[in-house]
Amino acid sequence: MTALAVASFLLAPQAQAQVPASPGAWASFDWFEYSGRDPHDAAGRPGQGEYANPVLQGFYPDPSVTRVGDEFYLVNSTFAWFPGIPVWHSRDLVHWTQIGNAIDRSSQLDFKKLGLSRGVFAPAISHKDGVFYILNTCVDCGGNFVITARDPAGPWSDPVWLPDLEGGIDPSLFFDADGRTWIVNNGPPEGTPLYQGHRAIWIQEFDLAKLRTIGPRQMLVNGGVDIATKPIWIEGPHIFRKDGWYYLSCAEGGTAEGHSQVILRSKSVTGPYVPGPRNPILTQRDLPRDRAMPITSAGHAQLVTTPAGDWWATFLAVRPYEGDHYNTGRETFLMPVEWVDGWPVITRPGQAIPYFADRKGLPAAPTPAVPASGPFTVRDEFDGAALPPYWMMMRNPQGNWFRLERGALVLDVRPVGLADFGNPSFLARRQQHMMASAETEVRLHPRKDGDSAGIAVLQNDEYWYYLAVTARGGGLQVSVLSRTGGKQPPGLALGAPRTLAIPAGEPVRLRIDSDGESYRFAYLDDHGQRNKPNWIGLGSLDARPLSTKSAGGFVGAVFGVFARSGE
């Protein structure tokens, strides 16, 4: 694995004084190092002319991709994490560099106290005449909207709301050859739904100059490719045109193991649309559940062409370590698209999504400075003007509670906990591997007993583990706290706190390791052994409570630094 020193940029501290900091209480983090690998890495690395899946590891779901000339741009869902909607750039669809976040100002959207799996769902990016568009739905925080930018790195505009799409999600734009623009989205069917998960796909014309819907709305698909089978959650629609046909590509089957992608086509943009003969065109639900190193829950695809005219698809899928348990979230994968008798095919029946696959003519591109796939180590030294764009917080920032100062990340110790559905002093990056480690060095400057700082692995407000250094009786203690369910209050997880032999303000190294099925916790406070550390283990906890299967929702686990005031 290659260690990288990462320049800091793009997530600058924001002053929004709504919650006061605890006077005089703060914690500094000298650095943060993330390292990871996966079981399939043992099989080797991509050979000459191959690429590796997933192309974006960790919690990067619902990919939407567009091409502008020789450049590709991609966005993902982030729900109630802030900043939201990462924007990526690539020249080969394989190597991606994050260039910004489309939602990076609290004036754009307010996630309030929403659960972490609410907020921004399934963005769709497109481009026309020098303008980039992202359509999105802020679930429980405003509805459907469009934002625009001349530069995909930002800044992006404030939202323009689309009230005609009320009750729907997953809007996207289609630019027709005649100059007209159309918007398609998932919405409720006409009349009363016939069953749970009964949805429809709708189309309406869109005024690109005024950024508003115009004319009547029309239903294109009722339920799915075959309403008689009661298909669920037809969603994520995209229209594209090829050889005189309008193709409508949609996800179907929900976001779990039954997920899939289906295709329909028509001679008119407004239909009628006829399902293809080989649906679904992408799924893994027809493979044995007990296969080795499975990739499951594949769907939510978008097709794109290369400058050479080849067709590819980005889509989401997951990599469980046991059953349907996975902590890395829904990730971004890539596969070539084959055309058979006028219809696209991504996977054939029984075909497994490959970890290593033929690049099939994709151009060569340099490895990104910050890798997003494969085994790697990334170390943040906190010596820049702002944090890298992959760092996030829970919901909109409430107050100016973090800063970069003298080569360290400083957090104010505030009375907001990880379980409070608020905006705690917690900054995090994604867990991107099954076998992962997160390590940091913290210096706690408390004001009173109970003030704490440390490192946490978190799935959402109700499911997390926290390795804490806590002020107690004039000294410091280290312990592991947890919450693993909405009815369970946070509490000690691995025995009584242990007293440290150093005073407050001195550095303590903390480490969380994952082997896929468990998390292990350790600390180090021996100044004389920095070059040859003797880690003191506190024990391990089951990883499954922090899996999406157990915790619910649509996000993945993150590692981060945290500070909180005491009783």
Query: Do 299 and 282 form a contact (C-beta atoms < 8 A)?
Result: yes
Same domain membership, residue 379 and residue 296: no
Indicate if 314 and 222 belong to the same structural domain.
yes
Last residue of a domain, one of 307, 323, 358: 358
In a domain, 286, yes or no: yes
Find all residues with CB under 8 Å of 487, minimum gap 6, and list them: none
CB contact set of 77 (below 8 Å; sequence gap of 6+): 61, 62, 85, 120, 121, 122, 123, 554
CA dist 178 and 300 (Å) reads 28
Residue 369 in any domain: the answer is no
pLDDT tens digits for 420-439?
A: 999 999 999 999 999 999 99
Q: What is the pLDDT of residue 534?
A: 85
Whether residue 53 is contained in a domain is answered as: yes
Rounded CA-CA distance 264/278 in Å is 10
**CB contact at 8 A, 144 and 168:** yes
pLDDT at 12 over 60: no
Q: How many distinct structural domains can be found in the chain?
A: 2
Contacts of 359 (CB under 8 A, 6+ apart): 49, 50, 51, 92, 94
- Specify whether 48 is located in the same domain as 7: no
pLDDT beyond 60 at 13: no
Residue 48 pLDDT grade (very low, low, confident, very high; cuts 50, 70, 90):
confident
For 77, the domain range is 39-358
Q: Taking Cα atoms as reference points, which of 250, 411, 278 lies closest to residue 339?
A: 278
Of 132, 277, 121, 262, the C-alpha closest to 201 is: 262
- The per-residue pLDDT for range 454-463, each reduced to its tens digit, is 999 999 999 9
- Once rounded to an integer, what is the mean pLDDT over residues 330-339? 98
Structure tokens at 272: 């009628």
Domain match, 342 and 446 both: no
Domain boundary pick from 315, 330, 358: 358
Closest CA to 350 of 263, 292, 282: 282
The answer as to whether 25 is a domain residue is: no
Q: Is the pLDDT of residue 449 over 70?
A: yes
Q: Is there a single domain that holds both residue 328 and residue 404?
A: no
Q: What is the pLDDT of residues 179-223, one digit of tens each?
A: 999 999 999 999 999 999 999 999 999 999 999 999 999 999 999
Average pLDDT, the chain: 94
Which of the four pLDDT bands, split at 50, 70 and 90, describes residue 33? very high
pLDDT at 530: 57
Together in a domain, 353 and 390 = no
pLDDT, one tens digit per residue, over 125-166 is 999 999 999 999 999 999 999 999 999 999 999 999 999 999
The edge-to-edge listing of strands for the beta sheet with 296-305 is 296-305, 311-318, 331-336
CA distances 100 to 89, 145, 258, 328, 414, Å, are 10, 19, 33, 22, 28
Report the CATH number at residue 11. Answer: 2.60.120.200
CATH of the domain at 309: 2.115.10.20
| Stretch among 328-337, 380-389, 477-486, 518-527 having the lowest mean pLDDT | 518-527
556 — pLDDT class (breaks 50, 70, 90):
very high
**Contact predicate 314/299, CB 8 Å:** no
The residues assigned a catalytic role are 62, 235
Report yes or no on 77 lying in a domain: yes
Dihedral sign, CA of 563, 556, 96, 171?
negative
**Is residue 559, in this structure, part of any structural domain at all?**
yes
| 11-42 as b/e: b if 16+ CB within 10 A | bebbeeeebebbeebbbbbbbbbbbbbbebbe
Asked if residues 368 and 95 have their Cβ atoms less than 8 Å apart, the reply is yes
CA-CA distance, 84 to 555, in Å (whole number)? 13
Helix (H) or strand (E) holding 538: strand 536-542
* CA 340 to chain centroid: 33
Distances (CA, A) of 408 to 178, 378, 411, 524, 549: 55, 16, 10, 19, 36
The DSSP output letter for 227 is: G
Mean of pLDDT values over 23-38: 93
Question: Could you say which of 358, 386, 419 is where a domain stops?
Answer: 358
The beta strand positions in 44-167, using DSSP E, are 50-52, 64-68, 71-75, 81-82, 84-90, 97-103, 119-128, 131-139, 143-149, 160-161
- Does 177 lie in the same domain as 123? yes
Question: Residue 10: pLDDT band by 50, 70, 90 thresholds?
Answer: very low
Give pLDDT, residue 44: 81
Same-domain check for residues 299 and 392: no
Higher pLDDT, 23 or 414: 414
Rounded to two decimals, the pTM is: 0.95
Helix, coil or strand: residue 41: helix
Q: What is the largest CA-CA distance in the chain?
A: 76
| pLDDT score of 17 more than 90 | no
DSSP-derived 3-state class of residue 38: coil
pLDDT at position 376, please?
97
**Are 220 and 322 members of one domain?**
yes
The alpha-carbon radius of gyration of the chain (Å, integer) is 24
Residue 9: predicted pLDDT: 34
Residue 29 inside a domain? The answer is no
pLDDT on residue 388: 97
pLDDT at 20: 39
Task: Output the pLDDT for position 525.
Answer: 78
Q: How many CA atoms lie within 13 A of 500 on its CB side?
A: 29
Confidence of residue 486 (pLDDT cuts 50, 70, 90): confident
Q: Is there a single domain that holds both residue 89 and residue 13?
A: no
For range 464-479, the mean pLDDT: 97
Q: Are residues 334 and 381 part of one domain?
A: no
Label residue 23 by pLDDT band (50, 70, 90).
low
* Angle, CA 233 vertex, CA 335 and CA 186 arms, to 5°: 90
pLDDT recorded at residue 11? 55
**E strand intervals along 359-461:** 376-380, 393-394, 402-405, 408-412, 425-430, 435-445, 452-460
pLDDT tens sequence across 356-398: 999 999 998 989 999 999 999 999 999 999 999 999 999 999 9
Q: Are residues 212 and 350 in the same domain?
A: yes
CA-to-CA separations, 24 to 34, 383, 406, 427, in angstroms, rounded: 30, 23, 18, 20
Q: What is the pLDDT of residues 270-317, one digit of tens each?
A: 999 999 999 999 999 999 999 999 999 999 999 999 999 999 999 999
Query: Looking at 140-244, which runs of residues are DSSP E strands?
Result: 143-149, 160-161, 169-175, 181-187, 200-207, 212-222, 235-242
Express each pLDDT in 398-409 by its tens digit: 999 999 999 999
Please indicate, yes or no, if residue 367 is contained in any of the structural domains: no
